[in-house]
Amino acid sequence: MGAGVIKSSGAGGGSRRRRRGGRAVPMSEINVTPFVDVMLVLLIIFMVAAPLMTVGVPVELPKTAANALPSEAEEPLTVTITAEGVVLLQRTEVGRDELLAKLRAVAVERASNRVFLRADGAVPYEQVVQVMGALNRGGFSNIGLVTDIGGPSLDETGN
79 exposure class (CB count in 10 Å sphere: 0-12, 13-18, 19+): buried
128 against 112, higher pLDDT: 128
CA distance 105 to 67: 31
Of the listed ranges 11-20, 37-46, 134-143, the least confidently predicted one is 11-20
- pLDDT on residue 20: 58
- pLDDT bin (cut points 50, 70, 90) of residue 114 is confident
73-85 pLDDT, tens per residue? 667 788 999 988 8
User: Domains in the chain, please, with CATH?
Assistant: 77-147 (3.30.420.270)
